[in-house]
A and B are shown apart, each in its own frame.
Chain A
Amino acid sequence: MDLELGRPNLQEFSATLMELARADRDVLALTSDSRGSGKLDPFAETLPDQLVEIGIAEQNLVGIAAGLASAGKKVYAVSPACFLTARALEQIKNDVCYSDHPVKLVGISAGISYGALGSTHHSIHDIAALRAINNIDIVVPADNFETRESIKAALDWNRPVYIRFGKRPMYHLHFPETEFGIGKGITIREGNDLAFIATGETVYFAYAAAKQLEKHGVSSRVISMHTISPLDTELVLRAVKECSALITVEEHMVNGGLGEACAGVLMQAGAWRPMKIVGIPDEYTVTGNQLEIFNHYGISADGLAAAGRELLQQTEVNHVT
């Protein structure tokens, strides 16, 4: 591969938050016994007054975050995505979103990052759950650049925002001059046969699949759709207009995530294309580490390339008939 390996998005997040907090004493990190998991020990040592420990109490974490935001603080509530968005869902819905406090919810070790710890520790429901709540933006950064930029963009964002990422080192996917904006997907590779619209840690695999397919004469577009809500519908529609088939990829259950969001856009625009939603299926999730689980469900260069070939064959059949 031609990509350079960076660091875990988790570390990029903690370094970025430290920078922001040093420059602005209203920036607070709230943790639920999660400062270690959030790589925030240096933050706690350097800026002890700006780290608020809530203990293992996610509902309270989010309620207190809303109160602090109401008091004018710039609050990053940092907790494993699985607990933050399930245990505290009602607090997110009412205390933050309905009450319109611009809390920054940071879901760490998201998706299936915790691997073999099992479903209690997986967050493959979070995007679907939050998509159904009014007044929150959902951001799933793919690499260090998107993580850094989304954490920075959240600082003065005037709406609630949820940013979730994992803890595995990530490849750099972007050119240095790339611009980032919440709600604006990024095309990281042009192509016209197949479009991959991927999000978070799966974008790399879409990119790897595109490189593989290129060897077989298939030209693949790869879009990092870092913002799931609001969805960059223009970019989605352009992709299906200019490509013959579409594969969405996400570290999330196939129900209610990026794929279904894109499908909704396409169906309502009358822009049908052969399409496959790749994610974690609605079943008892297989045991394994994150990469093993990815591989099991076809979230891999080989799996996605095979899915691409299959879809394109379907397209040809459709063209014939």
Chain B
Amino acid sequence: MFTEKELEVKSILYRKKILESIKKANTEHTAGSLSCIDILNVLYNKVLNVSPETFRDPDRDRYIQSKGHSIEALYVVLADRGFIPESDLDTLAQYQSHYVGHPTRKVNGIEQNTGALGHGLSVSVGLALGAKKDNASHRVFTLLGDGELTEGSNWEALLAGAHYNLDNLTAVVDYNTLQITGRITDVLKTDPLEEKFRAFGWAVRHVNGHNVAELSDVLLSVPFETGTPSIVIARTVKGKGITFMEDAREWHHKVPDDDQYRLAMQELDEALAMYESTVDTDRGRM
């Protein structure tokens, strides 16, 4: 099991890989991947009971990425965990590649094709309900974007999750407060989320979505209440880790130019250097 410091190192390395993929492939969902990568890091390295060897087992934990556009983050973590060869990352968005710009089941380790928003939670409810029908002990985790919460289908799924007492289901909201047009509160207000989720019958926790220790504590403690589905509001910063991308609307959908790329990598290398003296960074290396 990885230590907290080792996970922090992984997060930096993942961010480097994400930028590398985006730069190479000229794909564009940069800031969202940087926003959710620490959540994926903790899920895949601490929480989910799934591995390349067990990916076909009926009892594996399921992960559904509802905010499918943050695909680079998922590919990078799947490569690190050995679900896919790391060299496959070079084929992202290339002609005839299975690595399209949103999740598909053509890629080993991915459970569901997503990308249109507001779909992942319903599918996760189905998976969790299926597990309950079989008295199985595996769990279902899904990552929602905060922007996609304006899709009404999410609220249908929230009703169903509570109605069927799906305490084997956990949704994590990547709460970075931005969407493509700007601040969510300006586009269409969804706050206060906690009160809404509670009113819909879910148990709610807040967490710093970039703190791997906090994320581990919260995600390892589900269900928060027996018989109740869990939802985690993870406070995040879009573009996290690259100062000039942080909380900046335009980076939802933008590829860094050569200078920006160099600057970003330099910042991540400097962050990594801080750990060199205290952590065996090789353990965290991809």
Contacts and interface: CB of A to CB of B under 8 A. Distances in A.
B133 to A, nearest CB: 7
A68 interface: yes
Nearest to B106: A100
A244 to B, nearest CB: 47
Contacts of B192: none
A52 interface: yes
A60 B116 contact: no
B202 to A, nearest CB: 15
Interface residues of B, number: 32
A67 B126 contact: yes
B111, B125, B163: most-surrounded residue (chain A CB, <10 A): B125
Interface in A49-107: 49, 52, 54-55, 57, 59-60, 62-73, 90-91, 94-95, 98-100
B52 interface: no
Given A57-B159, A64-B160, A95 B131 contact: no
A142 B183 CA distance: 54
A90 B119 CA distance: 9
A58 to B, nearest CB: 9
Nearest to B157: A60
A27 to B, nearest CB: 11
Give the dominant DSSP class at B's interface: helix
A70 B123 contact: yes
A94 B115 contact: yes
B112 A70 contact: yes
Given A57-B159, A60-B153, A94-B114, A67 B119 contact: no
B157 A63 contact: yes
A57 B156 contact: yes
Contacts of A66: 112, 122-123, 126
Nearest to B158: A60
B119 A94 contact: yes
Given A55-B160, A60-B156, A66-B112, A71 B126 contact: yes
Contact of B156 (A52, A59, A73): A59
B126 A57 contact: no
Given A55-B160, A60-B160, A94-B113, A73 B125 contact: no
B216 to A, nearest CB: 26
Interface residues of A, number: 27
A90 B116 contact: yes
B115 A67 contact: no
Interface string A107-146: 0000000000000000000000000000000000000000
B196 interface: no
Contact of B119 (A28, A71, A91): A91
Interface in B102-120: 104-105, 111-116, 118-119
A90 B115 CA distance: 11
Contacts of B121: 63
A55 B58 contact: no
B50 interface: no
A64 B129 contact: yes
Contacts of B124: 67
A110 B126 CA distance: 26
A63 B105 contact: no
Nearest to B127: A67
A60 B152 CA distance: 10
Nearest to A64: B126
Contacts of B133: 28, 49, 68, 71, 73
Contact of B112 (A49, A65, A73, A99): A99
| Ranked 8 nearest A-B pairs via Cβ | A67-B126, A63-B122, A71-B130, A60-B156, A64-B126, A57-B156, A67-B123, A99-B113
Interface of B: 58, 62, 104-105, 111-116, 118-119, 121-131, 133-134, 152-153, 156-157, 159-160, 163
11 contacts: A57-B159, A57-B160, A63-B119, A64-B157, A64-B160, A66-B123, A66-B126, A70-B62, A70-B130, A98-B113, A100-B105
